[in-house]
Amino acid sequence: MGAQLIDGKSYAAAVRAGVAQRSAALHARTGLTPGLAVVLVGQDPASEVYVRAKGKQAVEAGMRSFEHRLPADTQADDLLGLIHRLNDDPQVHGILVQLPLPAHLDARAVINAISPAKDVDGFHISNVGMVGTGQDAIVPCTPLGCMMMLRHHHADFRGLTALVIGHSNIVGKPMARLLLNADCTVMVAHKSSTNIPELARMADIVVVAAGVPGLVRAEWIKPGATVIDVGINRIQRDGKPALVGDVDFENVRHVAGAITPVPGGVGPMTIACLLANTLSAFCHQNGLEDQPLLLDEQDPT
């Protein structure tokens, strides 16, 4: 018996369609257009791919896309100056600074310079603190996309146990927070954890965001568990470049109850949630009613 495939690609298409529909309706009513600004410092090829995808999908969802490409040696004052201009620009409702930033820039200071209302990544301390205390705020896109997919398979998280592998500020920590806010019993593992296989075997839900190909093995997985693979790794397989996650997919799929593929799982949902966050920020900034986009209402199946 094989795991059910969690088709992030089609869920994401459904979320984007919902965003496009609401964005068009709000434009017809108000004449206003949601705008997303993406800031890329330096020329990381992978970041280029994401930034292009974000811009293209924003436009397809009826939004304006503003791309700011800055040289790798950009000074902090110039970057902060741009952030302040974007904060003050009424055409811009969402600001995303692509991470990682070059080492000479203080990513924390840059993120906290973004107006919390426009912080569509949900990385500003104000949004982090609010989500951490269970208040409504902008939720980071990747964990939000994971939660949307998980909710599809688990009506109620109470009584379930989850293991989150990785505790970065952009994925692991907010993921653990959201699961905890939903009354899931949450374990968080990282490089210093010595008993991950044992913890994993207790988990009904495993979310992995470590950046280690093949880390999660079939023997770790409780039969029927839901496995969410956030990892994005570019490797050589049989002499050819391949994109793989952190899960040994071919073996884990025979044990898990449901599993996300890479590509076509968490990645597309991350960008769809970015657009949903931008629409929501636009609504808040213009006194328009914001409706949460739920996968249950956007079921592509």
CA 37 from chain centre, in angstroms, equals 17
Positions that interact with ligand NDP (CB under 6 A): 142, 165-168, 170-172, 189-192, 209-212, 215, 230-233, 266-267, 270
For residue 214, count other CB atoms closer than 10 A to its CB: 17
Is the Cβ of residue 118 or residue 222 nearer to ligand GUE in the bound state?
A: 118
Among 95, 138, 141, 293, binds Mg ion (CB under 5 A): 141
Distances (CA, A) of 241 to 170, 235, 244, 300: 26, 6, 10, 31
In which element (H, E) is residue 174 found? helix 172-181
In which element (H, E) is residue 153 found? helix 141-153
* Residue 91: CB minimum distance to ligand NDP, A: 27
Catalytic residue among 7, 121, 204, 229: 121
For residue 37, which amino acid is it?
A
Residue 170 CA to residue 68 CA, distance in Å, equals 21
The bridge status of strand 35-41 relative to strand 94-97 is parallel
* Residue 8: CB minimum distance to ligand GUE, A: 7
* Residue 283: CB minimum distance to ligand NDP, A: 24
In which element (H, E) is residue 185 found? strand 185-189
Is position 167 annotated in a ligand binding site? yes
* Residue 47: CB minimum distance to ligand NDP, A: 11
Among 138, 143, 268, 272, binds ligand GUE (CB under 6 A): 268
Catalytic residue among 7, 54, 222, 229: 54
Is position 126 annotated in a ligand binding site? no
> Please, what sign has the CA dihedral across residues 256, 258, 263, 269?
negative
In 3D space, the residue among 222, 97, 144 whose CA is nearest the CA of residue 136 turns out to be: 144
Residue 233 interacts, among Mg ion, ligand NDP, ligand GUE, none and using kind-specific CB cut-offs from 5 to 8 Å, with ligand NDP
242 interacts with ligand GUE by CB under 6 A: no
Task: Please name the residue that has the structure tokens 């094989």.
Answer: 2
50 interacts with ligand GUE by CB under 6 A: yes
Among 41, 63, 95, 96, binds ligand GUE (CB under 6 A): 96
CA 52 from chain centre, in angstroms, equals 16
142 interacts with Mg ion by CB under 5 A: yes
Residue ranges for the binding site for NADP(+)? 166-168, 232
Which residues are identified as catalytic? 54, 98, 121
Which residues of this protein are in contact with ligand GUE, per CB under 6 A? 49-50, 96-99, 121, 141-142, 232, 243, 262-264, 267-268, 270-271
